[in-house]
Amino acid sequence: MIVVTGGAGFIGSTIVWRLNCLGENNIIIVDELGSKDKWKNLVGLKFQEFVFKEDFIKAIVNDTIDFKIEAIIHMGANSSTTEKDADFLYLNNFLYTKELAKYCINKNIRFIYASSAATYGDGSMGFEDDESQLENLRPLNMYGYSKQLFDLWAKRNKILDKIVGIKYFNVYGPNEYHKGDMRSVVHKAFEQVRLTGKVRLFKSLNPDYKDGEQMRDFIYVKDAVEMTLYFLEHRDKNGIFNVGSGKARTWIDLVTALFNALEKPVEIEFIDLPEYLREKYQYFTQANLNKIKSAGYNKPITELEDGVNDYVKNYLLKNLYLGY
């Protein structure tokens, strides 16, 4: 069995979808569904069983798993960059991941986990997935720090040569609909255009960037999953790897691609950056992909315009999920 934690979530359900496309149905999904529409991500997917997160971690800790696990792809985490409950993030994003990692190491099970580009903080240390520099990174929020905590623990315990950590940059695409304020700007902008005909973007407070020209590394979820599953196939490749497009683009580029996909004129309103975000706002992110390419990954990465076009026309406009 392949276990996908967070398998009903955004990236997790896309991983299950892609595994299904590759003919793999021996999958256990671990997650919690809550009261929103997260369950819709599962409709149409093929898997053997859904296990509640709390039941799974108890079985891991007590070593009572009653099926053979080939790999755990650990996407389960609280992904809110604005979450203020530090204890919850520590428990959910660090301690939980640590227990899974220890189990996998002891049982010789492939372990792939989600780290985050949020660990890079303001980017002053660059965006190279160089494990020798982990201690020098300074995340800007507790979410990023909770991810860095595990990266550092894995390094201290000398297991980074046995597992894979994925530092996801700005992922967008189908099956993110349940994420509320943590949805990509593509999805938020799509709703804004339908309601008002225009998109609202934050003004820049950095003189090096004009309004709307703040830059991010946007990666289509289908590409992010292809890059992740490369490490399921290649067990000899281990360590921490960036997963992004490798090409920073502006917010104006992003919403222009959206307007073009909708065949509507570009209408942007610039609004003030909220006070609570000002000290934590990233003006530039760009994944250095040299390491993952050196590990042998060589598939082409979807251009922003093409990814947004596919997302809008084949999913958002049709109100479809992957697997439907």
> How are beta strands 215-216 and 249-250 bridged, if at all?
antiparallel
User: CA 38 to CA 32: how far, in whole Å?
Assistant: 9
User: CA 114 to CA 137: how far, in whole Å?
Assistant: 17
Do 163 and 154 contact (CB within 8 A), yes or no? Answer: yes
Selection from 59, 65, 128 nearest residue 96 by Cα: 59
- pLDDT at res. 151: 98
User: CA 10 to CA 63: how far, in whole Å?
Assistant: 28
- pLDDT at res. 77: 83
User: CA 185 to CA 285: how far, in whole Å?
Assistant: 15
Provide the residue type at 292 as one letter. Answer: I
pTM, two decimals, is 0.96
Arithmetic mean of pLDDT over the chain: 96
- pLDDT at res. 296: 98
Burial of 188 (0-12, 13-18, 19+ CB in 10 A): middle
* pLDDT over 90 percentage in the chain: 91
User: CA 100 to CA 70: how far, in whole Å?
Assistant: 13
Among the options 40, 102, 107, 179, which is catalytic? 179
Do 320 and 313 contact (CB within 8 A), yes or no? Answer: no
- pLDDT at res. 272: 96
> In the numeric block, which tokens belong to residue 207?
């003189």
Where is 86: in which H helix or E strand? helix 86-89
The residues of the chain scoring below 70 in pLDDT are none
Provide the 3-class DSSP secondary structure of residue 270. Answer: strand
179 is catalytic: yes
> In the numeric block, which tokens belong to residue 152?
């550092």
143 is catalytic: yes
DSSP 282-308: -SB-----HHHHHTT-------HHHHH
- pLDDT at res. 79: 76
Place of tokens 């809550």: 34
Distances (CA, A) of 257 to 92, 121, 179, 311: 36, 27, 22, 11
- pLDDT at res. 104: 98
Identify the CATH number of the domain defined by range 2-172+218-246+285-301: 3.40.50.720
User: CA 13 to CA 43: how far, in whole Å?
Assistant: 10
Among the options 103, 113, 143, 177, which is catalytic? 143
| CB contact burial 30-66 (16+ within 10 A = b; e otherwise) | bbebeeeebebbbeebebeeebebeebbebbeeeebe
